[in-house]
Amino acid sequence: MSEAFYVTTPIYYVNAEPHIGHTYTTVVADMLARYHRLKGETCFMLTGTDEHGDKILEVAQERGTTPDAVATEYAQLFKKTWDQLGIDYDRFIRTTDPDHRLVVQSILQKVYDAGEIEFKEYEGLYCVGCERFLTDRDMVDGLCRDHERAPESRSESNYFFNMGAHFSWLAETIEAHPDFIRPEHYRNEVLAMLSEESGLGGELCISRPKERLDWGIELPFDNRYVCYVWFDALINYLTGVGYPDGSEFETFWPVSEHIIGKDILKPHGVFWPCMLHAIGAPLPRHLNVHGFWNLDNRKVSKSLGNLVSPQVMDERYGFEAFRYFLLREMVFGQDSSFSEPLLIARINADLANNLGNLVSRTLNMTGRFADGLVPRAGAPGEAELVIEETAARVTSEVDEHVLSLRPQRALESIMGLIDATNRYLELREPWKAAKDPERADQVPTTLYTCCESLRVTAVLLSAFLPQTSHEIFSRLGLGNALEGAFLPELTRWGGLEAGLPTRKGPPLFPRIEVTEDSK
């Protein structure tokens, strides 16, 4: 039996359309799933939508419609967007799905029966955007840190989960498994939240009275209340793989990887582990936390109204180019800036001038000097061995970087192989050697080396740029080159057969000319 891999995105809240933040998280998860499949592992990718709570009711009231209509509209939009952009998920989950409702209610009952939920009066400052009560550390100048709006003062009776009873266990677990939360500085943030000085508090409000909010999953032990949206939403990771007794749950939960943005670190780093411990379920293997995309020095978010639409980027530049920019530009865990001039510069430098140029030159000369067929290589010389060794080194580096959540470093390594092959082509000068009787016999070996380097490059790029990878395979006469084989075999040097028909094709990534609109 092959190894397994389970990767999740957050389920996205359905009160606005997808933006660059959602897209980055989803693309990282998609890249990881594709890469682990390439390694021969059994993989499952889960994404979806979070559909209950105050914000959905708020949007519905503004539009004069129902919360269910709003949730369905945006859920369909998210699903359609990921489908159009080629995201290869295994399940798109909605928190209104019947199986999810049953799982949430069963977990609520289990925690209630264990005596970890109590009913009490609470008063505090509530942020509708966060769907929770805030502490002083959640605010700046009286406003919610994330949503830049003033919280409301609320007082009501609700049910509370005693998550504080699990704080000591959680802190000890994080200390004993330092790579559980990565990168490291987010682990330190969670440990700080668990300290007595943080003011976090050990009680998590897990209900909302129906008289105020009836859009949610009803508590199994009190039909006057619905479940708090965060308690409901986090459980989707279990529902998605058949908790509690499905075969998929046994296979995938022990190898689960959560990909989240840093704005939801507290629910995932504190609430969720405590909930899992309360029901006796193991923690996910890793909680992977990335930074914000900033536009004009402000976080990109729907609540702030400064969105960058993946559909618009697809229409202007093609989604593969935008996907490359996201994975190449952001250091995972740190904030990064988006602008169209930065995007264009990255496309032109890496994809048009570097990768696209190598594909074009190699296949153009294969057409001219080898009748469009992959030539048969002669004995390799020192220069050829350098490319072969570079390909082997880069393959190893990519594996290390992907498994360590460093996609930008992995792409940097792949671009290094492309750079080396371009330099090799300049060194060998097949356009001149073909006319020189003393060097003409070198040309087949030169062209084979470049074609084989492109094949290995396309294998390594397949998790990052799947459509581009497929196009390179097609131009090399390979068709579906990934079918029936996995990484070690696919990246072994010499795998390209001589005699395959090649085609040059149009520019892989046409160079983009900077206009006033894109400055």
Q: Which residues are catalytic?
A: 19, 22, 127, 130, 144, 147, 299, 302
Residues 6+ apart with CB under 8 A from 181: 174, 187, 190, 269, 286, 287, 289
Q: How far apart are CA 288 and CA 183, in angstroms?
A: 7
DSSP H or E segment with residue 127: strand 117-127
Given a contact cutoff of 8 angstroms between Cβ atoms, the answer to whether 258 and 268 are in contact is yes
Ordered DSSP codes for 154-189: EEEEEEEEEGGGGHHHHHHHHHHSTTSEESHHHHHH
Counting every residue written for the chain, the total comes to 519
Contact present, 256 and 8 (Cβ < 8 Å): yes
Nearest to 399 by CA among 413, 420, 387: 413
- Rounded to the nearest angstrom, the gap between the alpha carbon of residue 195 and the centroid of all alpha carbons in its chain is 30
Q: Which two tokens stand for residue 167?
A: 């704080």
* Stretch (H or E) spanning 106: helix 98-113
Q: Decide: 473 and 481 in contact? Cβ < 8 Å.
A: yes
Collapsing DSSP states into helix, strand and coil, what is residue 230? Answer: helix
Question: 301: phi > 0 → left, psi -120 to 50 → alpha, else beta; which?
Answer: beta
**Per-residue CA distances from 349 to 127, 132, 138, 475 (Å):** 44, 45, 41, 22
Q: With residue 287 as reference, give the H or E element that holds it.
A: strand 286-290
286-290/181-182 β-pairing: parallel
Neighbours of 332 (CB within 10 A): 22
Residue 333 to residues 26, 206, 330, 448, Cα–Cα distance (Å): 15, 29, 8, 40
Tell me whether strands 293-295 and 298-299 are parallel, antiparallel or unpaired: antiparallel
Judged on CB neighbours under 10 Å (0-12, 13-18, 19+), 173 is middle
Under 8 Å between Cβ of 208 and 226: yes
Beta-carbon contacts of 150 under 8 Å, excluding residues fewer than 6 positions away, are: 142, 143, 144
Specify which residues 4 forms β-bridges with: 42
**d(C-alpha 242, C-alpha 76), whole Å:** 23
The CA-atom distances, in angstroms, between 328 and each of 248, 323, 338, 341, 407 are: 33, 8, 12, 15, 7
Q: What's the number of CA atoms in the CB half-sphere (13 Å) around residue 44?
A: 25
